[in-house]
Amino acid sequence: MTLWQMFLSYSLLVAGILSLLTYWITKRFVLRKMNRTIMKVEHNYQQQISSLQMQLSGKVNMLEGIVNKLRLSNQELTRLNEIRSRFMAIAAHDLRQPLSSIQGFASVLMMDAPQGGGTNEQIALNNILKATDNMNMLMADLVDISVIESGRFKVEGQPFNFNALVSDVVTLQSVNAQKKKIFLQKTSYPTEITVTADRFRISQVLSNLLGNAIKFAPQGGRVETRFFVEDGWVECQISDNGPGILHSEKSKIFQKFHQSDNDRNLKKQGWGLGLSIAQEIVNAHGGEIGVESAGLGQGAMFWFRIPQEPISAKNAPSSDAKQ
């Protein structure tokens, strides 16, 4: 064997030994350290995951507690709302009988009172009759709102002459208008309009809107009623030159028990249910109702529109159809 061959063999032997030594050192120290590092990282992650799971469990328990409280609160609100509805219905029903008795006895005394109309006795009896009439209207509103809230509110559609209905309501309200020397104008439609709807309920809407206009119009003011037909819809508009409505109040004016702060004296004359009932009636007919006003001191124009023929809910106009 030559010297070169011996050197090559020795070199290969040394390289093999070094390779084995490197592998052994790597396996014994480096890989063990890597394993320890990996185990440590894994342990830390497990601790973090466990901590997050505990936090999440706490949040879930807290949310479940909140949900249970909300559920109990909703149940309590539902119970209180039912009690309120029952109370309003019972109060309205039980108060009607004594009111009818007071009204009847006052009418009898009025007939027996001396003629002339100027005595203190007649003035007192007139005031009693006016008060009982006002209370009867308030009781009727309570009955209507209790029926609406109980889900028993229904409308019955029958064909009727809308022109004649408007004329009847305007005639009835003209007495109140004359007391305030208000000019009550009705713009007649040139042809007869036949509507299939609940005549009594639509007259209730008209009476409410026209009565409000007369109530809020100033002494010697003006109230105008006009109506027309457009694409199978009948629209009625009642405008006045009263105190007007703030833009921020328009979204609240049809809410139950809402009353305008524009005139605190007028505020005492009702429950604030009339417009809410009117809205329910119009909605039940598949129509819509709204108000327009340029602001305080600019008067207001209330309007509602209903179809001439009953339509399904899916064909009812959208809330932004009237702008």
Q: What is the pLDDT of residues 107-117, one digit of tens each?
A: 777 777 666 55
In angstroms, the CA 163 to CA 189 distance is: 7
Q: Answer yes or no: is pLDDT of 297 > 60.
A: yes
- Helices 31-112 and 120-149 pack at an angle, to 10 degrees, of 150
Where are the strands (E) in the chain, listed by range? 158-161, 183-187, 194-197, 222-230, 233-240, 288-292, 300-307
pLDDT-derived band at 317, boundaries 50, 70, 90: very low
What local confidence, expressed as pLDDT, does residue 294 receive?
82
In angstroms, the CA 162 to CA 42 distance is: 82
Q: What percent of the chain has pLDDT over 70?
A: 82
- The amino acid at residue 220 is G
Q: Look up residue 43 and give its two tokens.
A: 């342990």
Least confident of 42-46, 78-82, 171-175, 284-288: 78-82
In sequence order, the 6+-apart residues with CB closer than 8 A to the CB of 271 are 138, 141, 142, 257
pLDDT-derived band at 122, boundaries 50, 70, 90: confident
In angstroms, the CA 126 to CA 147 distance is: 32
Residues 262, 300 contacting (CB under 8 angstroms): no
Q: Look up residue 99 and give its two tokens.
A: 């009111």
Mean pLDDT, the chain, rounded, equals 80
Least confident of 7-11, 141-145, 267-271: 267-271
pTM of this structure? 0.61
List the one residue out of 54, 50, 72 whose CA is nearest residue 62: 54
In sequence order, the 6+-apart residues with CB closer than 8 A to the CB of 174 are 184
